[in-house]
Amino acid sequence: MPALIGYARVSTAGQDLEPQLRALRAAGCSEIFEEKASGTSRARPELARLLDRLGRGDTLVVVRIDRLARSLAHLLQVIERVRETGAHFRSLGDPIDTSGPSGMLVLQIMGAIAQFERALIVERTKAGLASARAQGRVGGNPGLRTRDPVVLGKLAASRERTRLADLLPGADEWLGTVRLLRPTRSWEAVTAAVNERLPPGQRRFTRDRLVRSVRLFVEEGLAEPTLLEGAARRPRRDSKARRAMELAASFLRGRPKASLAEVGAELSRMGVRPRSGEAWALSSVKALLDRARSAGLLGEEHGQRRRRPNHPSYVQ
């Protein structure tokens, strides 16, 4: 059955969630996710859990929209994720309920405002850059232009923190699968398994992105270094050589006195060719039978006649 699922958030541990919880319970929410995190942060594990929990027909309920997001862009992003799931969004203190036409109209107006605001920002940025260039000033970080190692290091660290913040909310969905399969399985197989178990709507991993993500977690002490060890290679099985050995052994068991030349001729007749050339050399047939004997496919009595080495039936 469709459910009303509440989300309550305060910015600091000292603030009280109880007023929001009472309002959400009064609205009929059967389940409430509680979060103590800044509204400007998008790395909110409880919100991520709630979005994964939502099913078709469910409704995400908040007391006010600022409890869900502090920016219009983030709010629209979250609501779009809710709509992709087939669920709805309702704010008790704002005229927004996406299950009805009026709520959708408000969202469309908010989206148009956000798009207009982005266009204004782009225009102002372009005008500012053109004015700076006309006055001989070059924008950007001087350290980046000169490739300062300290500046580049700080930039790389900032990007890693951002990546980590984006990965943490959904880590339970993919890191458990990696721990289950690595390092015994290849990264290609692990990537396929991870993507298969991700909930609908969540961004899929490429092989390289998954490796980078695991490496980042290992560097931060959040995952075991053994996950990055090379997968054990499986021994290569030469099916053609195995088939040739089995056919040669089977023929010799039926005709214990057959010569090497006869064994080679039988293999050729059955369409089994050596790795090089069209005809079987006697030495190749002998090596084949030696391997069959070592594998237990032939007894010591097969092909153990003492002849001179250049005789066609010489085996050992």
Q: Would you name the residues annotated as active-site residues?
A: 11
Pairing of strands 59-62, 31-36: unpaired
CA gap 151, 142 in Å, rounded: 9
Nearest CA to 86 out of 51, 42, 44 is that of: 51
CA distances from 117 to 106, 108, 123, 227, 241 (A): 16, 14, 10, 45, 69
Pairing of strands 31-36, 88-91: unpaired
Cβ-based neighbours of 230, under 8 Å, separated by 6 or more: 183
CA gap 253, 272 in Å, rounded: 18
Burial class (CB in 10 A: 0-12, 13-18, 19+), 104: middle
CA gap 173, 196 in Å, rounded: 10
Burial class (CB in 10 A: 0-12, 13-18, 19+), 20: buried
